[in-house]
Chain A
Amino acid sequence: MADPAIELRGLSRHFGERTALRDLTASVPAGATLAVLGRNGAGKSTLLRILATLLRPHAGEVQVLGQPLPGRAFAVRGQVGLLAHEPLLYRDLTGRENLTYHARLHGVEAARVEEVLDSVDMRGRAEDPVRSLSRGMVQRLAICRAVLHRPKLLLLDEPRANLDPAGRAADRADRRRHARAHEPRPPGGGGRGRSGAGAAGRPGGVSGSAR
């Protein structure tokens, strides 16, 4: 049976005297999606950043794609895609330049950049600097960046923020397309396709069937 995509046991993380996460336990099977809903400041983004290996847990155990964190974080990087609060794009580079940069960091072929730009209908604005784009367009490029390297685990923090109806439709279609069988069924059965965890302040902020 495939390793769970995410396994948390007693996870805790604090920032100074403030506790962001306390004794969190959860398990997300491979191929499933976990929706994390909570009010502002509940620790949703902190959880996603720990899963993305950007933060260390202060207590408890964390396993992502079968790898314990933080010790085996290097084995997980490149298999996780993160759509964060910030788009993680350089404002003075064009959309295409940003995505090409990220493609090179992840060892992804150049053709993939055009593929993701097409999937969110951004090819026509790909040569414009990011600072000249609307927030919705920047969010679309951020989605491109998150899925560019075909991650096995996709972490989405407020994924529908700033998206216009066309952007939401493109995002839904893209995630449906990539969640289906590009990856073969693992030996012994288990989940198929990409796993995910999405965080939002309200239901509907994370689309698709989710636990």
Chain B
Amino acid sequence: MRTALTILRKDLRLELRTFETLPAMVLLSLASFVIFHFALARATVDGQLAAGVLTVTLLFAALLGVNRLFVAEREQGGFDAFLLAPVDRTSLLIAKATALFLFLIVLEVIALPAFDLLLLGSSLGRSLGGLVVLLLLADLGIAVIGTLVSAIAVQTRARDLIGPIIGLPLLIPALIATARGSGPLLLGHGATFPQGKWLLVLALYDSVFALLAYAVFDYLLED
């Protein structure tokens, strides 16, 4: 755990110093909401349409973060330096997934109010808590899958292509659960908490892929 914290601290320090990932994710989200606002030519959106817009926007912003997750390690020798150390290699998985999870939370802290203002007509208040719970579970799944996929992709030549090709199909169950779970929350006077089945789907998905990532991550780093 101490090793994972050391790596996480290093990554957060690098991000605070360079701002290479988070601003791009936020800008993409905000730009997407603006485009949707004008393209849909409606004063507000709600229900499943709003859920779809939110899910797709957060997905593409997350893919930006996934693509950049191991770039410093690949380009500046961080992989070799880590592999030389007498540490558990899954600590890199834990650190990177945690970093991506934190980036997604910061993204949503900024993106959700913008989404509410630009597309929902400021009607999110009652269901915000339920939406946050749903998004946290979704973020966990994206963080785990994203880290796994990024670790695979960074070792290949076409890493910008491999990430989405492998990651998107793996993320489909989580994205469906997120979109279907958030739809009722985004109706004007709809539910205030997601249906249990969607939370269960996300929780199971997160657990299965966390275990899978833990089992295979060691072998992804070897040459």
Query: Which residues of A are at the interface with B, using a C-beta cutoff of 8 A?
Result: 52-56, 74, 77-78, 80-82, 84, 86-93, 97, 101-102, 104-107, 145
Contacts and interface: CB of A to CB of B under 8 A. Distances in A.
B14 A77 contact: no
A42 to B, nearest CB: 20
24 contacts: A53-B83, A54-B80, A54-B84, A55-B223, A56-B222, A56-B223, A74-B86, A77-B84, A78-B85, A87-B77, A88-B77, A88-B78, A88-B80, A88-B81, A89-B76, A90-B10, A92-B18, A93-B14, A101-B10, A104-B2, A104-B3, A105-B6, A105-B85, A145-B81
Contacts of B133: none
Contacts, number: 69
A91 B82 CA distance: 16
Contacts of B78: 88, 90
Contact size range, B: 20 to 34
Contacts of B82: 105
Contacts of A86: 76-77, 80
B86 to A, nearest CB: 3
Interface string B129-154: 00000000000000000000000000
Tell which of B14, B83, B85 has the most Cβ of chain A within 10 Å. B85
B189 interface: no
| 10 cross-chain pairs, A with B, having the tightest CB-CB distances, nearest first | A78-B86, A88-B77, A105-B85, A88-B81, A86-B77, A104-B6, A77-B86, A92-B17, A101-B10, A92-B18
A158 to B, nearest CB: 15
B190 to A, nearest CB: 46
Contacts of A89: 76-77, 81
B27 interface: no
B76 A91 contact: yes
Contacts of A74: 86
Given A86-B77, A105-B6, A93 B13 contact: yes
Tell which of A56, A101, A102 has the most Cβ of chain B within 10 Å. A101
B84 A52 contact: yes
A90 B72 contact: yes
Interface of B: 2-3, 6, 10, 13-14, 17-18, 72, 76-78, 80-87, 222-223
B175 to A, nearest CB: 33
A74 B89 CA distance: 10
Main SS class of interface, A: loop
A104 B2 CA distance: 9
A102 B76 contact: no
A46 to B, nearest CB: 11
A97 B13 contact: yes
A145 B76 CA distance: 14
Contacts of B83: 53-54, 77
B71 to A, nearest CB: 11
B216 to A, nearest CB: 17
Tell which of A78, A82, A92, A102 has the most Cβ of chain B within 10 Å. A92
Contacts of B87: 105
Contact of B81 (A55, A97, A102, A107): A102
Contacts of B3: 104-105
B76 to A, nearest CB: 5
A14 to B, nearest CB: 13
B104 to A, nearest CB: 22
A84 B6 CA distance: 23
Nearest to B87: A105
B85 A106 contact: yes
B80 A93 contact: no
Contacts of B81: 88-89, 102, 105, 145
Nearest to A131: B76
B13 A102 contact: no
Nearest to B15: A92
